Amino acid sequence: MSENESELVRRAKTDREAFGVLYERYVTAIYRYVYYRVGNVEDAEDLTARVFLRALNHIHRYDERGLPFSAWLYRIAHNVVVNFHRDQRRHHLLSLEAVAEDPERHPAPAQHSEGDPEAVDQALDAARAREQLLRAIRRLPEDRQHLLVLKFVQGLSNAEIGMIMNRSEGAVKSLYHRTLLQLRTLMAQVEQENRISTSKP
C-alpha cells in the first residue's frame, strides 16, 4: 500500500470524507468484481453498496500488516457474494447465467457491422460462445469463480490473488490450473446440453 493510501485509510477510520475518497478509488473495481459474480446490474449495485457499508462499519478492525486495503475489500466482496448466492439458491436465481441469458442488458462488445450478414453471423456465434462460457464458469465452485474474476476482470497477479485468498502464490497457480481443467470439462458439458436442447423439436 502506498504511504498516501496508508494515511488515507488511517484517517478513514474516523473521517467519513476520507472514507469517501477510498470509496471513489475502489468502487469501479469492486463493482466489476461483484457484477461478474452475480450477473446483473441491480444486484451488483446493491451488493457493491453493501460491501462498502460493511467496510465502513469494520474499518476500525482493518490492520494494514501485510494485507493491502484493496485485498481487504475483495475479501469482504467475496463474503458478501457468497452470502448472497446462499440466499439466492433458495429462490433459484442465477448469476453468470443471467448475464449470458440476458444479452440485451449485458451485451457482448459490438463486433458486427449492420447489413453485413457474414459479420452478423460471426457476432452471433461469438455471443453464443460467450454465453456458453459464462454458463460453464457459473458451475465452478465459488473459490474458482472468485479466482477467475480476480484474474481476468481485475487483472491481478497470482501473488495479489494469493493475498486476497489467503493462499501462497504456488497454491493459486495450482488452483488456477485445476480451474482451467474443470472449466474445459464444463464447457464440453454445456455445449452438449445446448446441442441436445436445440435438436429437440
Residues contacting residue 8 through CB under 8 Å, at least 6 positions apart? 18, 21, 22
Does 185 contact other proteins by CB under 8 A?
yes
Q: DSSP letter string over 79-117?
A: HHHHHHHHHHHTTT--SHHHHHH-TTTSPPPP---TT-H
Of residues 32 and 167, the one with the C-beta less far from other proteins: 32
Smallest distance, other proteins to C-beta of residue 110, A: 10
**Which of 26, 28, 44 minimizes the C-alpha distance to 36?**
44
Does 124 contact other proteins by CB under 8 A?
no
Residues contacting residue 90 through CB under 8 Å, at least 6 positions apart? none
Considering CB under 8 A, how many residues would be counted as binding other proteins?
Answer: 43
**Which of 90, 83, 73, 74 minimizes the C-alpha distance to 43?**
83
65, 67, 73, 80 from 62: Cα distances, Å: 9, 9, 10, 17
Which residues inside 96-115 make contact with other proteins, applying CB under 8 A? 108-109
Of residues 86 and 177, the one with the C-beta less far from other proteins: 177
Does 187 contact other proteins by CB under 8 A?
yes
Q: Which of 10, 11, 25, 32 binds other proteins (CB under 8 A)?
A: 32
Residues near other proteins, by CB under 8 A: 16-17, 19-20, 23-24, 27-28, 31-32, 35-36, 41, 44-45, 48-49, 52-53, 56-57, 60, 108-109, 126, 129-130, 133-134, 137, 148-149, 152-153, 177, 180-181, 183-185, 187-188, 191
